[in-house]
Chain A
Amino acid sequence: MTASDQDLVVETVREILAGHEPFVLTAERQWDEGLWTALAGAGLTGVGLPEESGGSGGELADAVAVVRTLAAGAGAVPVAEQLLVAGPALLAADLDLPSPEEPLTIAVDGAVTAEPSDDGDGPGRFVLTGTATDVPWAGVARHVAVLATPPAGIEGAVLAVVDTAGLGASRAVNLAGEPRGSLVLDGVGVPGALLSPAQVTRVRARYALARAVQLSAALEQVLAWTVQYAGERVQFGRPLGKFQAVQMELAQMAGEVTATTALVDAAVQALDRDEETVELAAAAAKVRAGEAVETVAKLAHQVHGAIGFTQEHRLHHLTRRCWSWRDEAGTESVWSRVLGAGLVADGGDDVWPTFTRVV
């Protein structure tokens, strides 16, 4: 796709989003099925996935543009998981991609074992047993790409594709009400592939980077809303934005947002250039984005005042997501240790040269 094609894609996503306002997610209404159907109907749930595998074609940058737009619009659909994590992970493992019209998600946590099966279905089939936890969109996604522990003595992990039809999902939600339940796998036979430890690292890094992409877009939107509100809300006869104390807060938010976006963009480019070295780039992006949430969400609520602390106002759709996404796919604590260890992997004398190669 060219840059203008990408603009067109983003415009289409925006138009669809305009007809699907964010709502408070509940047990009865766990996701925005109407939004998903509209996106899938327009081929937008296959962007960045190759046409020969059933996707809509386009580049990583196009998929990122779709994910960013949906994140900024608080779209309650598993598009980040499908386009940036599970879809590419399955393709990299030479596994068949389920139809992009049906939601696909990723499961990297919990205790699931994979045994190769000899049930006559041939190589590449495994029996999964155990519970996958913290599964984004559990109970909503039709398919789940599950990272499972291989038999003892084998390194890496098995990546398997589970059709969730008929499987039970226990309900749990993140701070924004998005489903993050568990999936019980009781000897389910599924197609899968053995991944090397390096390949497993890349799947986890992709997941972290996907959340960082969502965070950067959501934080940009939160900043925009807050600047807008500060320009409209009048107290003491002046808009809030005319008060120097408020200006300082907004400038600080802008700094966090701008820095996050610059690093996340660079990490996405690093992934595009060479997936094999994406771990430290993804780590840095996830840590930076997570850290930005602290300042941006806090100050956004401060500037919005009490109305922003209610479900009547739109702000919570994004701040609650930001507070959740920073924890998911590895907290700042986890990824900062990964980045720190990576920077001294060649010995403590090479921190700077390693640093200059991260993104």
Chain B
Amino acid sequence: MSNDQLTLAPAPPSEAAEQVRLEVRRFLAEELAAGSFTTHVDTWLSGVDPDFSRKLGARGWLGMTWPKEYGGHERSAMERYAVTEELLAAGAPVAAHWIADRQSGLALLRYGTEAQRKEILPRIAAGQCYFVIGMSEPDSGSDLASIRTRGTRNADGDFVVNGAKVWTSNAHHSHYGIVLVRTGPPGEGPRGKHQGLTQLVVDLSLPGITVNPIRILDGGHHFNEVVFDDVVVPGDMLLGEEGNGWHQVTAELAFERSGPERFLSTWPLLAEFGRRAAATGDPAQLAVLGRLSSRALALRQLSLRIAAALDRGELPDIPAALVKDMGTTFEQDVVDEVRRVVDVPASLDSPDPLGRALAEAQLHAPGYTLRGGTNEILKGIVARGLGLR
């Protein structure tokens, strides 16, 4: 079969996951009732609420799969999956900790020094320490290995960093970034530029760092440009191995690309639409609800299979690329499909919650298929999985 690289075993059923799912659901209902948050679309990018993140940390719902000695809870990826999808479905404000919990902590666990782990991981798990991804640059988007931010060792063995990162979500609320820099020359051949790249754990409060806001379509401030001007990063904040940055970044991607946030960003819109379809009983609306849900159910199975594979210690980067490509396309299609069968103008000022959800989802939509690797890049990875390149 040609698609062996894409096929994963079904996820085993998990009683523990169903248990924690109900706990999270109860918690969210209480928080909603208490007015501590309101449901929005795409809140894993836009919903920054440190208080809410700390509440999750206090309940043991961050760093769930990590060892207890680093503040983790040694639970399965399936349990973590249930927690994250419940939070996303409710449109809860999870953006502050999202990156740290999803991938930065894991990178530290995998490649970090004991001191880095002891210092940082318990704070992430407590919902108190937030990370940004320092990959893209003004001149390096999909062609990540062409980055120009440099880290040069000084006489003390520290890294002097110069350059700029962009699309750095929530840098203005975050404490650290895992920043990919060039520390050595590229090698020969087409993949030569993968050499000489290094990841650094950068404290964003260091002198020489400037965070400039970049507003997205709805005026929201989530993105930033982060400029590094002779920033001295202590040598002991090297992450993993010098020159091994490309490999380490690639390992992060299976986690970055496979989670339920890759198809549930617009779920709050779909849920609002479900309320409308229930109220009208319109068969055309029910059909759209059913069709979109069948796609979401399939994506959920794929995403669950990847979570189970990660639990087994595998690194399914090709299935992760596939689920992100399909999932983010779905997130956009939700907007198109819903508006074909309701006569509700999209507006952030709409008196109708469906109109507001449509507006939020539409104005965020271009980002879904760009962030974390464009769908063109992802399809290229899938094509590699098919043996075509």
Residues of A at the B interface (CB closer than 8 Å) are 220, 223-224, 227-228, 230-231, 241-242, 244, 247-248, 250-252, 254-255, 257-263, 265-266, 269, 283-285, 287-288, 291, 332-333, 335-344, 347-349, 351-353, 355-356, 358-359
Chain A residues closer than 8 Å to B387, beta-carbon distance: 227, 231
User: Could you name 15 residue pairs across A and B whose Cβ atoms are closer than 8 Å?
Assistant: A227-B386, A231-B387, A251-B325, A287-B290, A333-B287, A336-B287, A336-B288, A336-B289, A337-B287, A339-B290, A340-B289, A348-B279, A349-B275, A356-B21, A358-B293
Chain B at the A interface: mostly helix, strand, loop or mixed?
helix
Whether A248 lies near B25 (C-beta < 8 A) is no
Q: How many residue pairs between the two chains, A and B, have CB atoms under 8 Å in the bound complex?
A: 169
For the complex formed, measure the closest distance between the CB of A162 and the CB atoms of chain B, giving whole angstroms: 33
Whether A359 lies near B383 (C-beta < 8 A) is no
* Most chain B CB inside 10 Å of its own CB: which residue of A242, A255, A344: A255
Whether B291 lies near A254 (C-beta < 8 A) is no
Question: In the complex, what distance in Å separates the CA atom of A288 from the CA atom of B330?
Answer: 13
Chain A residues closer than 8 Å to B36, beta-carbon distance: none
Selected from B25, B275, B386, the residue in CB contact (under 8 A) with A254 is B386
Whether B295 lies near A343 (C-beta < 8 A) is no
* Most chain B CB inside 10 Å of its own CB: which residue of A224, A259, A347: A259
For the complex formed, measure the closest distance between the CB of B248 and the CB atoms of chain A, giving whole angstroms: 26
Whether A220 lies near B1 (C-beta < 8 A) is yes
Query: Which residue of chain A lies nearest to B382 when distances are taken between CB atoms in the complex?
Result: A251
For the complex formed, measure the closest distance between the CB of A358 and the CB atoms of chain B, giving whole angstroms: 6
Whether A247 lies near B380 (C-beta < 8 A) is yes
Chain B residues closer than 8 Å to A252, beta-carbon distance: 379
Question: In the complex, what distance in Å separates the CA atom of A11 from the CA atom of B376?
Answer: 38
**What number of B residues sit within 8 Å (CB to CB) of A?**
53
Whether A355 lies near B21 (C-beta < 8 A) is no
Q: Mark B281-294, 1 if CB is under 8 A from A, else 0.
A: 00101111111011
Question: In the complex, what distance in Å separates the CA atom of A340 from the CA atom of B271?
Answer: 12
Question: In the complex, what distance in Å separates the CA atom of A244 from the CA atom of B382?
Answer: 12
Q: A247-B383, A257-B3 are in contact. Are A284 and B389 (CB under 8 A)?
A: no
Whether A227 lies near B274 (C-beta < 8 A) is no
Report if B298 contacts A (CB, 8 A). Answer: yes
Query: Which residue of chain B lies nearest to A273 when distances are taken between CB atoms in the complex?
Result: B13
For the complex formed, measure the closest distance between the CB of B289 and the CB atoms of chain A, giving whole angstroms: 4
Whether A288 lies near B294 (C-beta < 8 A) is yes
Known: A254-B322, A336-B287. 17 other contacts (CB 8 A): A223-B2, A230-B388, A247-B380, A254-B382, A255-B382, A258-B6, A287-B290, A291-B291, A339-B290, A340-B289, A340-B290, A348-B278, A348-B279, A351-B271, A352-B90, A356-B21, A359-B297
Report if B78 contacts A (CB, 8 A). Answer: no
Within 8 A of A (CB), among B156-201: none
Whether B274 lies near A251 (C-beta < 8 A) is no
Report if B356 contacts A (CB, 8 A). Answer: no
The 8 closest A-B pairs by CB, nearest first: A348-B278, A340-B286, A336-B290, A339-B290, A340-B290, A351-B274, A348-B275, A344-B278
Selected from A258, A291, A337, the residue in CB contact (under 8 A) with B3 is A258
Q: A247-B389, A348-B278 are in contact. Are A340 and B383 (CB under 8 A)?
A: no
Whether B275 lies near A340 (C-beta < 8 A) is no
Whether B302 lies near A259 (C-beta < 8 A) is yes
Chain A residues closer than 8 Å to B2, beta-carbon distance: 223-224, 227-228
Within 8 A of A (CB), among B1-54: 1-3, 6-7, 10, 21, 25
Chain A residues closer than 8 Å to B279, beta-carbon distance: 348
For the complex formed, measure the closest distance between the CB of B305 and the CB atoms of chain A, giving whole angstroms: 6
Chain B residues closer than 8 Å to A266, beta-carbon distance: 10, 297, 301
Question: In the complex, what distance in Å separates the CA atom of A341 from the CA atom of B271?
Answer: 13
Question: In the complex, what distance in Å separates the CA atom of A251 from the CA atom of B2?
Answer: 12
Report if B270 contacts A (CB, 8 A). Answer: yes
Whether B290 lies near A338 (C-beta < 8 A) is yes
Chain B residues closer than 8 Å to A251, beta-carbon distance: 322, 325, 378-380, 382-383, 386
Chain A at the B interface: mostly helix, strand, loop or mixed?
helix
Report if B276 contacts A (CB, 8 A). Answer: yes
Question: In the complex, what distance in Å separates the CA atom of A254 from the CA atom of B279?
Answer: 37
Whether A265 lies near B301 (C-beta < 8 A) is yes
Question: In the complex, what distance in Å separates the CA atom of A181 from the CA atom of B122?
Answer: 68
Whether B291 lies near A336 (C-beta < 8 A) is yes
Whether A351 lies near B325 (C-beta < 8 A) is no
Q: A261-B7, A352-B89 are in contact. Are A231 and B290 (CB under 8 A)?
A: no
Question: In the complex, what distance in Å separates the CA atom of A261 from the CA atom of B319?
Answer: 13
Question: In the complex, what distance in Å separates the CA atom of A339 from the CA atom of B294?
Answer: 8
Report if B299 contacts A (CB, 8 A). Answer: yes
Selected from A247, A255, A284, A337, the residue in CB contact (under 8 A) with B283 is A337
Chain B residues closer than 8 Å to A230, beta-carbon distance: 388
Question: In the complex, what distance in Å separates the CA atom of A269 from the CA atom of B380?
Answer: 32
Whether B322 lies near A343 (C-beta < 8 A) is no
Q: A247-B379, A259-B326, A332-B291 are in contact. Are A344 and B388 (CB under 8 A)?
A: no
Question: In the complex, what distance in Å separates the CA atom of A359 from the CA atom of B299?
Answer: 12
Question: In the complex, what distance in Å separates the CA atom of A323 from the CA atom of B208?
Answer: 62
Whether A242 lies near B294 (C-beta < 8 A) is no
Selected from B283, B295, B322, B388, the residue in CB contact (under 8 A) with A258 is B322
Selected from A261, A287, A337, A351, the residue in CB contact (under 8 A) with B270 is A351
Chain B residues closer than 8 Å to A269, beta-carbon distance: 10
Chain A residues closer than 8 Å to B295, beta-carbon distance: 259, 288, 291
Selected from B287, B299, B388, the residue in CB contact (under 8 A) with A241 is B388
Question: In the complex, what distance in Å separates the CA atom of A228 from the CA atom of B387?
Answer: 10
Whether A343 lies near B21 (C-beta < 8 A) is no
Question: In the complex, what distance in Å separates the CA atom of A30 from the CA atom of B364?
Answer: 54
Query: Which residue of chain B lies nearest to A72 when distances are taken between CB atoms in the complex?
Result: B1
Chain A residues closer than 8 Å to B267, beta-carbon distance: 352
Question: In the complex, what distance in Å separates the CA atom of A215 from the CA atom of B275?
Answer: 32
Report if B277 contacts A (CB, 8 A). Answer: yes
Whether B305 lies near A255 (C-beta < 8 A) is no
Whether A284 lies near B294 (C-beta < 8 A) is yes
Whether A291 lies near B271 (C-beta < 8 A) is no
Whether B383 lies near A250 (C-beta < 8 A) is yes
Report if B296 contacts A (CB, 8 A). Answer: yes
Whether A343 lies near B379 (C-beta < 8 A) is no
Whether A284 lies near B297 (C-beta < 8 A) is yes
Q: Mark B108-137, 1 if CB is under 8 A from A, else 0.
A: 000000000000000000000000000000
Query: Which residue of chain A lies nearest to B295 when distances are taken between CB atoms in the complex?
Result: A288
Whether A358 lies near B25 (C-beta < 8 A) is no
Chain B residues closer than 8 Å to A337, beta-carbon distance: 283, 286-287, 290
Q: A248-B376, A262-B302 are in contact. Are A255 and B326 (CB under 8 A)?
A: yes
For the complex formed, measure the closest distance between the CB of A98 and the CB atoms of chain B, giving whole angstroms: 33
Question: In the complex, what distance in Å separates the CA atom of A218 from the CA atom of B380?
Answer: 24
